[in-house]
């Protein structure tokens, strides 16, 4: 497969905010972006899926709790089980946790305030589908914007994530939301489904973001698809 032939779908839910930015990031990386609608039980033959940030279904009940029942998510779960790369960003991370594709849950920030700023992250795992373009231990500057980004899981789950190297990113310098063990992003056992609260799609060009540090996630996925 050529880079231009890789098709990465981006879901739009009612209340999605960053779907357009995610599609732009896909194009910036050199792949073709495909719009996916929440009400369609069809992934239209894409090679990977991004569940973007925003406020799906108004964040009613709990962030991501309604979105997990969308027809498109049934297909995402099936595709992920077959090994398709899936990335959840911010609200998308919440949706993936609610859908059972990733462990744990995202809760109210410890300070009970919405946080919007640029945030330093450290790359903990550079072997996943979404992080191979980074060096382990590299520091990245990426925007965050969320009110319910505190990652929480039971101690045995956290120990397993740490022991299996499934923590992708960790907050450095300070923890903006009280996430357990400073966790900013994680992956599944195969390293193909990933979720993080920071927004890599807002850091793909230093002209419009603080850096282009986030572009590596989309380039990493594209590398994986081309090599497959």
Taking the C-alpha atoms of residue 20 and residue 34, their distance in angstroms, rounded to an integer, is: 11
* Candidates 75, 90, 146, 148; catalytic one: 90
Task: Write b or e for each residue in 129-143: b if 16 or more Cβ atoms lie within 10 A of its Cβ, otherwise e.
Answer: bbbbbbeeeeebbbb
Active site residue 135: no
Q: What is the dihedral of CA 18, 130, 204, 200, to 10 degrees?
A: 50
End-to-end CA distance of the chain: 8
Judge whether 90 counts as a catalytic residue.
yes
Residue 201 φ then ψ, to 5°: -70, -15
**Residue 201 designated active-site:** yes
Active-site residue, selected from the candidate residues 75, 98, 148, 201: 201
Distance of CA 193 to the CA centre of its chain: 8
Please name the residues in contact with 13: beta carbons below 8 A apart, sequence gap of 6 or more. 38, 54, 56, 57, 67, 70
* Residues in CB range of 11: below 8 A, 6 or more apart: 19, 36, 37, 38, 49, 50, 51, 52, 72, 76, 92
* Residues in a beta bridge with 35: 10
Residues forming beta bridges with residue 9, ordered by sequence position: 34, 49
Residue of 38, 146, 199, 202 marked active site: 199
Which residues are known to be catalytic? 90, 199, 201
């Amino acid at each position: 497969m050529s880079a231009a032939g890789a098709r990465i779908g981006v879901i739009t839910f009612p209340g999605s905010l960053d779907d357009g930015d995610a599609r732009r990031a896909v194009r910036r990386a050199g792949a073709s972006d495909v719009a996916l609608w929440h009400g369609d039980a069809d992934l239209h033959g894409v090679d990977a899926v991004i569940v973007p940030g925003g406020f799906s279904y108004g964040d009613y009940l709990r962030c991501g709790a309604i979105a997990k029942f969308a027809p498109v998510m049934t297909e995402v779960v099936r595709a992920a089980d077959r090994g398709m790369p899936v990335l959840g960003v911010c609200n998308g991370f919440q949706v993936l946790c609610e859908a059972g594709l990733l462990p744990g849950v995202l809760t109210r920030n410890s300070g009970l305030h919405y946080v919007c700023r640029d945030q330093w992250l450290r790359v903990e795992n550079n072997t996943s589908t979404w992080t191979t373009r980074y060096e382990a231990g590299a520091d990245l500057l990426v925007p965050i914007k969320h009110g319910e980004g505190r990652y929480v899981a039971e101690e045995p789950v956290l120990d397993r994530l740490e022991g299996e190297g499934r923590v992708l990113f960790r907050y450095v310098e300070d923890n903006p939301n009280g996430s357990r063990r400073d966790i900013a992003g994680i992956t599944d056992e195969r390293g193909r489904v990933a979720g993080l609260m920071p927004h890599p799609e807002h850091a793909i060009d230093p002209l419009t973001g603080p850096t282009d540090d986030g572009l590596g996630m989309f380039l990493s996925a594209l590398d994986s698809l081309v090599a497959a």
